[in-house]
Amino acid sequence: MRIYVLPCDGIGPEIIDASMGVLEAVNNKHNLGLTFDFDEIGFVSLKKYGTTLRDEVLEKARSYNGIILGTSSHMDYPPPEKGGRNPSAAFRVGLELYANVRPARSRAFLNKGARNMDLVIMREATEGFYPDRNMHKGWAELMPTPGMALSIRKITDHACERIARRSFELAMKRRKKVTAVHKANVFHVTDGLFLQEVRKVAKDFPDVELNEVIVDAMAAHLVRDPSRFDVIVATNFYGDILSDLASELSGSLGLAGSMMASDIACCAQAQHGSAPDIEGQDRANPTSMMLSVAMLLQWLADHHQAARFGKAASEIDAAVDRVLADPASRTRDLGGNLGCKTFGERVAAAVSSA
């Protein structure tokens, strides 16, 4: 199988390099037959081609079995008309990667963050309050007059239905509980449409318990007792915020695996940002990228009936935990002193020796 690797900006090249060592370890161990092609996006591409993301890169990505996407510093990009294209948004919309799957779990040995948490946030990723992805043409933020700004939110029944269905399907494999997050007490029409579609899908899954929680209350519940939640489904904006909260409750945002998937394609991408303040200093925690790569392998296992890919994914998860269990093998965000490169080498060694 062919994997397209796009390191991008900030710490992206570092965490991808560390993760590729782990991926090569399982590739060799389980004869996965993975091959890798690398390409340039982000600031490197902007300097070389005048755009952070060439159309041919996005089109080329369609021909691969999986994609590994690095972190982007899109807040620092020039305007879109000057080449500053957000790669994450472009991939999500261009490849219909509508399901941003973000697990969060506690690790007792870290003695940090929440206890007994094991949940997955299913974030719809192609519309919502994101002006770079909810118009066919143009930008969904406007300034009609000086001192007045408008932002347009798009919610469709189609997008709500498909993320809800994936959420209930996942819940059937877990603890059979779905929590729909909304603000329908204020956004009567848009969040009302979201809840309407979730409730429709729920009728097809009578064994799954559905709860509905207002987003501000949801933040409080996550802090107070995240163990009560299993699968959480939300529109783009709410899911983005809540998943960062849940990941920090797991011990660090650096522990947050994430994948973006459609029904036919999957992209691994660390949940956190590009952290340009520590770029090139070997200080990044590559765990999020490693766990995202493991999620990609599991997706390949599920969609290609390839059990060895699932075994490889499980071994990466287990190897990461074995390394993290040793306080001397932790990165700085977890109170240790290990660098990104050395951490990656230890996880790769743990995979090989398992």
Amino acid at 76: D
Q: Is 216 a catalytic residue?
A: yes
Q: Is 203 a catalytic residue?
A: no
SS3 337: coil
One DSSP character per residue, 107-154 reads -GGG--S-SS-EEEEEEE-SSBS-TTSS-SSS-SEEEEETTEEEE--B
Query: CA-to-CA distance for 226 and 106, rounded, in angstroms?
Result: 10
Query: Given 9, 230, 240, 317, which residue is catalytic?
Result: 240
**Torsions phi, psi for 141 (to 5 deg):** -125, 140
Q: Which value, to the nearest 10 degrees, does the dihedral of the CA atoms of residues 96, 102, 309, 282 take?
A: 110
Q: Is 39 a catalytic residue?
A: no
Q: Is 4 a catalytic residue?
A: no
Query: Given 216, 263, 302, 326, which residue is catalytic?
Result: 216
What the block records as the tokens of 90 is: 């472009």
Question: How many secondary structure helices (H) and strands (E) does the chain include?
Answer: 11, 12
Query: CA-to-CA distance for 289 and 45, rounded, in angstroms?
Result: 21
Query: Given 183, 230, 238, 317, which residue is catalytic?
Result: 183
SS3 81: helix
Q: Do residues 189 and 156 touch, judged by C-beta distance below 8 A? A: no
Q: Is 183 a catalytic residue?
A: yes
Query: Given 64, 98, 130, 238, which residue is catalytic?
Result: 130
**Would you please indicate which residues are annotated as catalytic (active-site) residues?**
130, 183, 216, 240, 244
